[in-house]
Amino acid sequence: MDYNINFPHLHIYLQHVIKSISIGSFGIAMYGIIIACGMLAGLGVACYVAKKSGQNPDTYFDLALVAIICSVIGARIYYVVFRWDLYKDDLLSIFNIRQGGLAIYGGVIAAIITTFVFAKVRKLSFPLLCDTAGLGLILGQAIGRWGNFCNREAFGDYYDGLFAMQLPVSAVRTSDLTEKLMSHTTVIDGVEYISVHPTFLYESFWNLCLFILLMLYFKHRKFDGEVFLLYLLGYGIGRFWIESLRTDQLLIPHINYPVSMALAATLVAVSAIWIGIVRYKQMKMGKMVDTPPQSSTKE
């Protein structure tokens, strides 16, 4: 395999981007290492925010023990369901996640369900848990996307602009190659390259910016749950655009429309409406409190 990854217009040429490291005879995928780093960073942020906001940080350690496992399972199930053609002839490969194949929306859905059950069992505020854990989640996503970089996956179609990324054809799954990509290949030193949108980079940067904005807004939130709704709204906007560029879209059966774009649009609409409704109710309640009662006098 050719390990080069180039960003020619930025004059960045990476000669040996490895997919795994070996400890003795045991190989560890870089994808898994990066995902684990993202999880640890996210947990650290959640505990920090919990402490600053008067919550018990240990709560989020307990939540993480369950939510991380459930999220990985949910992300894998989501991916397998919508890429069943890749696994139907080799069911055991479903359990091999070392080569990638995790859909973040599946992980988010599983995390929300897990957090809801956790809040009910512990008798805690579900919206507050979502606000705090959501900040860790978005940072974890920003870091975790670099696992796709090492795996040479989750990239866009042909692109030769400023941020164009060149990948060796031999290092990419054939199912991710499009006719457009293959009609614009470049041969460098005997190696055939495709030139693509680095959508992993777009999403990582988008998530990092969203994380910073939500961290700054956390103490100014108008109600518990607002930060998490803003996360869903902001992430959905970015994901809708970025997903439209990718060549490995998960499609809704029979409709053949990208499921992540449909889900992103739904989350944006629902989150915006939800925030609007709560804010409107708060505004009405504020006016009722601020308006002095009218005295009734008889003439």
Helix axis angle, 30-52 relative to 126-144, nearest 10°?
140
173 is in an annotated binding site: no
Left, alpha or beta for 189 (phi > 0: left; psi -120 to 50: alpha)? left
Tell the residue number behind the tokens 């004059």, with chain if given: 11
Task: Report, in this order, helix, strand and coil percent for the chain, each rounded to 5.
Answer: 60, 10, 25
Question: Would you give the distance in Å from CA 270 to the centre of its chain?
Answer: 18
Left, alpha or beta for 7 (phi > 0: left; psi -120 to 50: alpha)? beta
For the chain, the first-to-last Cα distance in angstroms comes to: 95
CB-CB contact of 66 with 42 (8 Å) = no
Name the residue among 200, 245, 251, 240 with its Cα closest to residue 83: 251
In the chain, the amino acid numbered 287 is K
Rounded to an integer, what distance in angstroms lies between the CA atom of residue 141 and that of residue 42?
A: 9
Rounded to an integer, what distance in angstroms lies between the CA atom of residue 271 and that of residue 230?
A: 7
Beta bridge partners, 22, equal 27
Name the residue among 81, 131, 119 with its Cα closest to residue 102: 81
Rounded to an integer, what distance in angstroms lies between the CA atom of residue 271 and that of residue 277?
A: 10
State residue 187 phi and psi, 5-degree precision: -105, 120
Beta bridge partners, 292, equal none
Residue stretches of the annotated binding site: 145
